[in-house]
Amino acid sequence: VIMMGQAEHSVVTTCAYCGVGCGFKAEMKGQEVVRMVPWKDGQANRGHSCVKGRFAWGYTTHKERVLKPMIRKRITDSWKEVSWDEAINYAASEFRRIQGQYGRDAVGGITSSRCTNEETWLVQKLVRAAFGTNNVDTCARVCHSPTGYGLKQTLGESAGTQTFDSVMHTDVVIVMGANPSSGHPVFASRLKRRLRQGARLIVIDPRRIELVSSPHIKADFHLQVRPGTNTALLSSLAHVIATERLIDEAFVAERCEAKSFKEWRDFVSLPENSPEAMEEITGVPAQAVRGAARLYATGGNGSIYYGLGVTEHSQGSTTVMAIANLAMATGNVGREGVGVNPLRGQNNVQGSCDMGSFPHELPGYRHISDDTVRSQFERDWGVTLQPEPGLRIPNMFEAALAGSFKGLYCQGEDIVQSDPNTQHVAASLAAMECIVVQDLFLNETAKYAHVFLPGSSFLEKDGTFTNAERRISRVRKVMEPKNGKSDWEVTVALSNALGYPMDYRHPSEIMDEIARLTPTFAGVSYDKLDRMGSLQWPCNDDAPDGTPIMHIDEFVRGKGRFMITKYVPTDERSTRRFPLLLTTGRILSQYNVGAQTRRTPNVVWHGEDLLELHPQDAEDRGVRDGDWVGVQSRAGETVLRATLTDRVQPGVVYTTFHFPESGANVVTTDSSDWATNCPEYKVTAVQVTRVSQP
């Protein structure tokens, strides 16, 4: 805490929006924030910020914020305000009743990528130790779970390889399925600085994002891939690298498995993977693919940055592995300026995954069936843990509809608005008997809840977030929780009421437990974080100051493993009934489902989600700019206002998903990634028709 004269002081903390993890100084007058100032010593942002972190914190005092716990027996009843004790005891008794009636595995929990590492740790611990089941999953299921899977298979660790600063040493950048200018603005400005210095740029995206052509930047290649064909495109890039002898043979021989490399090279060299053969599938001219492949392989340090346009597909995990294959084949891993870099959407996606929020993995990405690892937790926690993986979020929904899953503890996640196929999610929730929602607002999911536990905002909590570069930063309480309890205290109280005692005096003690049980966090403590500013994991005896760049001398798994990444077409293809392909994204001033940005009065925000439609498709349908259009898919139908633009190609439409009224996820389907069940948000076959105003 830095004192700034009699009435003012400031507290250094971390932005709770995107995965850049900017440091801020909250300037305070008493318990009121006067302004948020980007922290010049913030190691992720170095004094920069975007409009969201700087101005969009007013939601913390919004009048719709719920500050009192509430319960109701049926979702058709009105909410009744109760004491914390009554709400928590009611939730605990309902969970125990359900387990008694339907079995131990009839309940589960969902952790949030918006919450701190410490809060997430406690929720997964509660589910495993107090509930006695592995039915715990994270909202990262619906965004970056393929990153965790794909990078672990190939490189051995479920995380990005670089620091953000590394981009200043790159010569060729591939940006794939990400729009950093909107989604990760502070990283985007660093990337643009490097591009203005002369680094070359390849954009792979169905949409002409801002980076493709802006006043001082022009991409060398924009591979405007047809939605759903990423894996085919990467196979054609790999084909050029393999057949034109652009492989870094020395790197591969020293660092990678010989057998998997040979199989991969034989596979990508097949004529069916050539850019010419793939052109009809991907829609990308073969010559552009050849040029981009040559540039990436021979242009010096090559780096790849990717986002949800890679992961949120039925082949999301395959595409992540194909990216890692490309980086290994060209020797672009293990030093500054190169690497494979997932741009994480939410502030703590990395952390929520690190903390063991997956039903098959304990913290640190160790499989629940590993007896040695499980016994460490059993000794420390004093319980017996189940050795079998639990249910993923989509499986919880299916089990609810089948009648075997009845109780859910959902912290900081609006699954009704953010998960695909809203109707399916809503029906699943309606079939449950006890849903506990812990959140700031009565969100869409709370409509199905029986217990509402008011959450605290990032300004009211102590803890840590882990950003997209594995950087663990402190979140510091700048004011007392307006609801009277920190989120971690609520989880502790619930666990105690369930009969599994938890006892912590401060989140620092939770971090001490994390460090004790998670090898990659073994050297992390609040004292060290205060001293160092932040730490990038792995941080342990081998790397006491953390690890900015991974896989330097060898891959975490030893030798890098190439994976065969055969293109399998998605079911979401254009048909006569649904001839257009819908893809989705975000805008700069809104954030995900808009729970916070829609409730901030500081600036005039964009007021609605729009459907981008190519003028040619619009003309075919008699749609003019600003008309209302119906968007129909096999899952459902919604209405949006059309904006005509050639940012999208003919045959492709695009929208954002910030407003519940627009209901983008009413039309997205429950197709999902084959390995992780990450939903296929990024491609939905739709029809668009002109309608009168809704």
Residues of the shown chain interacting with ligand SF4 in the complex, contacts defined by CB under 6 A: 15, 17-18, 20-22, 45, 49-50, 52-53, 184-186
CB of 521 to ligand SF4, least distance (A): 22
DSSP helix/strand/coil, 392 = coil
CB of 610 to ligand SF4, least distance (A): 21
What is the C-alpha separation between 599 and 273, in angstroms, rounded?
Answer: 48
Output the six-digit token pair for 427: 């029906």
What is the H or E stretch that residue 409 is in?
Answer: strand 407-411
CB of 597 to ligand SF4, least distance (A): 10
Looking up tokens 């090279």 gives: 265
Task: Name the nearest CA neighbour of 687 among 603, 629, 615.
Answer: 629
CB of 352 to ligand SF4, least distance (A): 16
CB of 365 to ligand SF4, least distance (A): 24
Task: Name the nearest CA neighbour of 653 among 671, 634, 679, 630.
Answer: 630
185 or 337, CB closer to ligand SF4?
Answer: 185
DSSP helix/strand/coil, 513 = helix
Output the six-digit token pair for 47: 């004094």
Task: Name the nearest CA neighbour of 123 among 459, 387, 463.
Answer: 463
286-298 and 230-243 helices cross at what angle (nearest 10)? 60
307 or 663, CB closer to ligand SF4?
Answer: 307
CB of 554 to ligand SF4, least distance (A): 32
Q: Which long-range contacts (CB under 8 A, 24 or more apart) does 620-627 make?
A: 621/688, 621/689, 621/690, 622/690, 623/688, 623/690, 627/690
Cβ atoms within 10 Å, residue 446:
22
Read off the amino acid at residue 375.
Answer: S
CB of 11 to ligand SF4, least distance (A): 16
52 or 614, CB closer to ligand SF4?
Answer: 52
What is the C-alpha separation between 197 and 294, in angstroms, rounded?
Answer: 21
**Burial (Cβ within 10 Å: 0-12, 13-18, ≥19) of residue 246:** middle
50 or 174, CB closer to ligand SF4?
Answer: 50
Cβ–Cβ < 8 Å for 486, 460: yes
CB of 23 to ligand SF4, least distance (A): 9
Question: Which positions ≥6 away from 674 have C-beta within 8 Å?
Answer: 314, 315, 317, 318, 568
57 or 90, CB closer to ligand SF4?
Answer: 57
15 or 329, CB closer to ligand SF4?
Answer: 15
CB of 53 to ligand SF4, least distance (A): 2
CB of 379 to ligand SF4, least distance (A): 38
17 or 358, CB closer to ligand SF4?
Answer: 17
**Burial (Cβ within 10 Å: 0-12, 13-18, ≥19) of residue 86:** middle
189 or 525, CB closer to ligand SF4?
Answer: 189
42 or 150, CB closer to ligand SF4?
Answer: 42
Cβ atoms within 10 Å, residue 527:
9
